[in-house]
């Protein structure tokens, strides 16, 4: 038996084991929307003495694995924090290398044999896309268009995103929309508030998905770093000490088990 055959058998065994675990997890409610903060790529690079930027490439394959596990399990919405507006503060070389990597990987998503087409995933890019370089922005628009007909699951990639920018953008869009709705009384006084919470939520970049059920952050950090702050009111915040490139199936299972364990309380919070 050569290496290829052994690897194939090993992969088949892992796939079968995963399916057994999915069957057990599926007894109870599964999360509808999982979000990931992919932290730890640079630390991984340093720890393994890799060239700068290699950690992100390894992180990308971890992302593909996690997406595969989520979609196999039947989680309909997955959101990932790929690039924050604050990350533009990094060195120009690092930002350029990240943009190049993103452009390359976004183009990969559109290919026929890619994971998103395999699982019927519709891709959205959430964020202030005007801040991106033109090639990345165009690639993102192409990917959204190419996957628009997919309807089994949704992948939202947060790029040039921060929650505060998202809220500000939604407020601005509301103001533009309501411009003609304003009612001014006879003495010129502005009558009532025209913008409410529902209006703002309608204009959020993340309006394409329901609120997340779980946010998983790797590298042991306990903050959200301006990610989904508005949408995480009733969300289980999971911190795992593993670095993103080292994340595996067992970490996802741990998060889902914790979610199922606390489901009654989380559902109660959603109803208040």
Residue ranges in contact with another protein by CB under 8 A: 23-28, 84-87, 89-90, 162-165, 167-168, 171-172, 174-175, 178-179, 182, 184, 190, 193-197, 199-200, 221-226, 229-230, 232-239, 257-258, 260-262, 265-266, 269, 272
Cα(145)–Cα(139) distance, integer angstroms: 10
In degrees, rounded to 5, the angle at the alpha carbon of residue 213 between the alpha carbons of residues 129 and 211 is 45
User: How many angstroms separate the CA atoms of 193 and 190, rounded?
Assistant: 8
Closer Cβ to another protein, 48 or 262, answer by number: 262
| Residue 140 exposure: Cα atoms within 13 Å on the Cβ side | 25
For another protein, the closer of residues 3 and 198 by Cβ is 198
**Side-chain-facing half-sphere of 74: CA atoms under 13 Å:** 11
> Please, what is the minimum distance in Å from the beta carbon of residue 123 to another protein?
24
Residue whose C-alpha is closest to residue 195's, from 208, 204, 182: 182
What is the phi/psi pair of residue 78, to 5°?
-130, 135
Please confirm, yes or no, whether 213 is among the known catalytic residues.
no
Angstrom CA distances, 42 to 49, 94, 117, 218, 243, stand at: 10, 11, 30, 12, 9
Residue 101 or 171 with smaller CB distance to another protein: 171
Selected catalytic residue, list 39, 165, 211, 213? 39
Question: Residue 141 or 176: which CB sits closer to another protein?
Answer: 176
CB-wise, 45 or 84, nearer to another protein?
A: 84
- Rounded least distance, CB 187 to another protein, Å: 14
Distance CA 213, CA 31 (A): 6
DSSP state of 51: P
CB of 257 to another protein, least distance (A): 6
Query: Cβ of residue 150: shortest distance to another protein, in angstroms?
Result: 30
18: left (phi over 0), alpha (psi -120 to 50) or beta: alpha
Furthest-apart CA atoms within the chain: distance in Å: 89
Q: Alpha-carbon torsion 108, 64, 216, 235, what sign?
A: positive
**At CA 183, angle to CA 180 and CA 186, rounded to 5?**
135
Select 146 or 259, whichever has its Cβ closest to another protein.
259
Q: Catalytic amino acids?
A: 39
């Amino acid at each position: 038996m050569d290496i290829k055959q052994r690897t194939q058998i090993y992969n088949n065994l892992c796939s079968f084991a995963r399916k057994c675990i999915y069957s057990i997890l599926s007894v109870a409610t599964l999360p509808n929307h999982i979000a990931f903060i992919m932290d730890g790529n640079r630390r991984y690079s340093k720890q393994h003495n890799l060239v700068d930027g290699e950690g992100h490439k390894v992180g990308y394959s971890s992302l593909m694995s996690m997406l595969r596990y989520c979609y196999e399990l039947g989680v309909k919405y997955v959101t990932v924090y790929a690039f924050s507006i604050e990350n533009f503060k990094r060195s120009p070389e690092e930002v350029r290398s990240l943009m190049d990597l993103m452009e390359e990987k976004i183009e990969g998503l559109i290919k026929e044999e890619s994971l998103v087409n395999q699982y019927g995933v519709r891709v959205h890019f959430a964020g202030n896309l005007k801040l991106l370089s033109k090639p990345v922005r165009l690639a993102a628009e192409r990917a959204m268009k190419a996957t628009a007909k997919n309807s089994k699951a949704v992948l939202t990639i947060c790029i040039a995103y921060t929650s505060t920018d998202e809220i500000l953008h939604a407020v601005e869009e509301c103001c533009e929309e309501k411009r003609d709705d304003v009612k001014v009384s006879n003495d010129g006084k502005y009558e009532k508030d025209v913008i409410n919470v529902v209006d703002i939520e309608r204009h959020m970049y993340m309006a394409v998905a329901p609120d997340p059920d779980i946010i998983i952050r790797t590298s042991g950090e306990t903050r959200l770093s301006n990610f989904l702050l508005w949408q995480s009111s009733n969300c289980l915040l999971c911190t795992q000490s593993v670095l993103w490139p080292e994340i595996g199936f067992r970490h996802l299972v741990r998060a889902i088990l914790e979610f199922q364990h606390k489901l009654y309380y989380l559902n109660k919070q959603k109803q208040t």
